[in-house]
Amino acid sequence: MSRIAARFAVLRAENRGALIPFLEAGDPDLATAEAILRGMPDAGADLIEIGVPFTDPMADGPIIQAASKRGLAAGATLGRTLEMVARFRAVDADTPVVLMGYLNPIDSYGPARFCADAAAAGVDGLIVVDLPSEEADLLEADAHAHGLDIIRLVAPTTADARLPLVLNGSSGFIYYVSITGVTGTRSASDADLAAALPRLRAVTDLPVAIGFGIRSPAQAASAVRIADGAVVASSLIETLARSLDAQGHAGPDTVRLVLDQVRMLADGVRDARTREIVA
């Protein structure tokens, strides 16, 4: 069983949803990003999503664009991101790590070599934003040969008729993009999310994580009441960005502030399904 499947099986047995916090590799510098990654499991991360910086993050809003820019300025590359995951894997054998990014750095690295190196480093899954099902053959065979899950995005614009195509070849979990829009800009209503999930449940047994627009512990809790996981990205990056000094360097509390927020989100998610919903 893959690390992702194993983790969702444990969560299901405990009747709770997954908190999936996000960090951008190299943001604000290589060492600080790695310290945040190392601290996330203890702070309550069930899975971890690592953004790979790209010069042209077309699906991202201003907050993650800025994170990507800081990561690049700090020297983050796909290769260095894999090295960071390998060091993390040496001290944490269980927490699944998913890389999220854009195709061109992978294409440039070479898809086959990348999948081999990513698997060796201990990466568990890949989310490639600009690689829709129609183009997935570029990566799919290599990813599966190395035991990497391909995690597909499903959007509100994805019609029911299209779902089987989108889900074919995907594994690990489904990433439901809860809004039509870029990251960190707006949030879906509970009603919209409640309507979206049955569409997915009808066609897949894979766990579903909701992302885009989940900012607060309460929103994360709502998400895991109907889905299997909640991805929180932009609001963590905002906390990080606020802690930086005028030159954009990490402040003394940067790591602690981000991990404190992960802890609060984890508290919100942990007993979300058993706690009474207070109106």
Partner 1 sequence: MNPQSQTILPASAPDADPSVPVSARLAARAEVDRADALRPNTLRTGPDERGRFGIFGGRFVAETLMPLILELDQAYEAAKADPGFRQELDFYLKDYVGRPSPLWHARRLSAELGGAQVYLKREELNHTGSHKLNNVMGQILLARRMGRTRIIAETGAGQHGVATATVCALFGLQCVIYMGATDVERQKPNVFRMRLLGAEVHAVSTGAGTLKDSMNEAMRDWVANVHDTYYLIGTVAGPHPYPAMVRDFQCVIGDEARVQMQEAEGRLPDVVVAAVGGGSNAMGIFHPFLDDPAVELIGVEAAGRGLDSGEQAASISRGRPGVLHGNRTYLLQDDHGQITEAHSISAGLDYPGIGPEHAWLHDIGRAQYVGITDDEALAAFQLCTRTEGIIPALECAHALAHVAKIAPAMRPDQIILMNLSGRGDKDIFTVAERLGVSL
Distance CA 220, CA 229 (A): 8
Choose, by CB under 8 A, the member of 41, 61, 169, 248 that binds partner 1: 61
Q: Which has the closest alpha carbon to 19: 51, 41, 52, 50?
A: 41
Give one word for 48, left, alpha or beta, with left for phi > 0 and alpha for psi -120 to 50: beta
* Residue 147 or 181 having the CB closest to partner 1: 181
Please report, as residue ranges, which positions from 180 to 239 form the binding site for partner 1 (by CB under 8 A): 180-182, 185
* Residue 8 or 114 having the CB closest to partner 1: 114
3-state secondary structure 228-278: CEEEECHHHHHHHHHCCCCCCCCCCCHHHHHHHHHHHHHHHHHCCCCCCCC
Sequence-distant (6+) residues with CB within 8 A of 134 are none
Q: How far is the CB of 157 from partner 1 (least distance, A)?
A: 5
CA gyration radius, the chain = 17
Query: Which residues are known catalytic residues?
Result: 49, 60
Distance CA 108, CA 140 (A): 16
Distance CA 22, CA 13 (A): 24
Binding mask 4-43 for partner 1 (x = CB under 8 A): ----------------------------------------
Q: Applying CB under 8 A, which part among 126-134, 221-229, 246-254, 270-278 lies near partner 1?
A: 126-134
Please report, as residue ranges, which positions from 141 to 170 form the binding site for partner 1 (by CB under 8 A): 152-159, 162, 166
The verdict on 248 binding partner 1 (CB under 8 A) reads no
Q: How many residues bind partner 1 (CB under 8 A)?
A: 43
The verdict on 54 binding partner 1 (CB under 8 A) reads yes
Consecutive H or E run containing 224: helix 217-226
Q: Applying CB under 8 A, which part among 73-81, 187-195, 196-204, 258-266 lies near partner 1?
A: 73-81
Binding site for partner 1 (CB under 8 A): 53-61, 65, 72, 77-79, 103-109, 129-135, 152-159, 162, 166, 177, 180-182, 185
